[in-house]
Chains A and B, each alone.
Chain A
Amino acid sequence: GDSVTQMEGPVTLSEEAFLTINCTYTATGYPSLFWYVQYPGEGLQLLLKATKADDKGSNKGFEATYRKETTSFHLEKGSVQVSDSAVYFCALSRLNNQGGKLIFGQGTELSVKP
């Protein structure tokens, strides 16, 4: 079945450091891929998405490229801020997967120190 695997956290970085959170997926066909962010005590917010191979999603300085050949959708940011501290979830969705339900990775906690 479909699945998403993320690098384990927690990830601790200093402010202005470069961030990479790895995400790989297993799915048949061409799923849509998403990154969601969850701040402490809150629900999930969509950070960015890509719907086909080689698409690059970007938002708030974060970006991720849909790589079909490596089945990956790694999240990157050039310079993190303390306010980026949160849990990041990679997810996929396919229409013929029971109406497009989201399959989530296990989440990666990011902590940015000043």
Chain B
Amino acid sequence: GAVVSQHPSWVICKSGTSVKIECRSLDFQATTMFWYRQFPKQSLMLMATSNEGSKATYEQGVEKDKFLINHASLTLSTLTVTSAHPEDSSFYICSARDRLDFSAGAYEQYFGPGTRLTVT
């Protein structure tokens, strides 16, 4: 149980275009999803916290107009990188918290396999 998928697993796009990454919780409902960015050989940097049905909360320094997050259902959150540039190339990872876990007082996050974005 507790499987999170991401699509696509990797994507190459041209500078100036937009790309959408999907994050799905496959066997549980996630009221909260998180989006991270990871550079090579570095830790995960939290970009934003996404709550179903409401606006995402962005971390300091993350451009909300560039990284659009939508969490329209209890099983799907999307991250759209708008007008992508080479410096946006990175590994993007989402995680989700099970609605039932949270109600029980556990705060574990289940991670997706990540999406590697390359902007040329």
Contacts and interface: CB of A to CB of B under 8 A. Distances in A.
B43 A43 contact: no
A104 B44 contact: yes
Contact of B44 (A46, A89, A109): A89
B108 A43 contact: no
Given A42-B114, A99-B32, A101-B34, A106 B107 contact: no
A100 B97 contact: yes
A33 B34 CA distance: 18
A42 B57 contact: no
B49 A101 contact: yes
A22 B41 CA distance: 18
B57 A43 contact: no
Nearest to B110: A46
B114 A102 contact: no
Interface string A77-114: 00000000000010001010011111011110100000
Interface of A: 32, 34, 36, 41-46, 49, 51, 89, 93, 95, 98-102, 104-107, 109
B111 A44 contact: yes
Contact of A43 (B97, B105, B112): B112
Contacts of A109: 41
14 contacts: A42-B113, A43-B4, A43-B93, A44-B93, A44-B111, A46-B110, A46-B111, A49-B108, A99-B32, A99-B49, A101-B49, A102-B109, A104-B43, A107-B43
When A and B form their complex, which 6 residue pairs have the shortest distance between CB atoms, in order from nearest? Answer: A100-B107, A44-B111, A43-B113, A43-B111, A43-B114, A93-B107
Contacts of A46: 108, 110-111
B107 A95 contact: yes
B42 A106 contact: yes
Contacts of A43: 4, 6, 93, 111-114
Interface in B64-120: 93, 95, 97, 102, 105-114
B13 interface: no
B19 interface: no
A51 B97 CA distance: 16
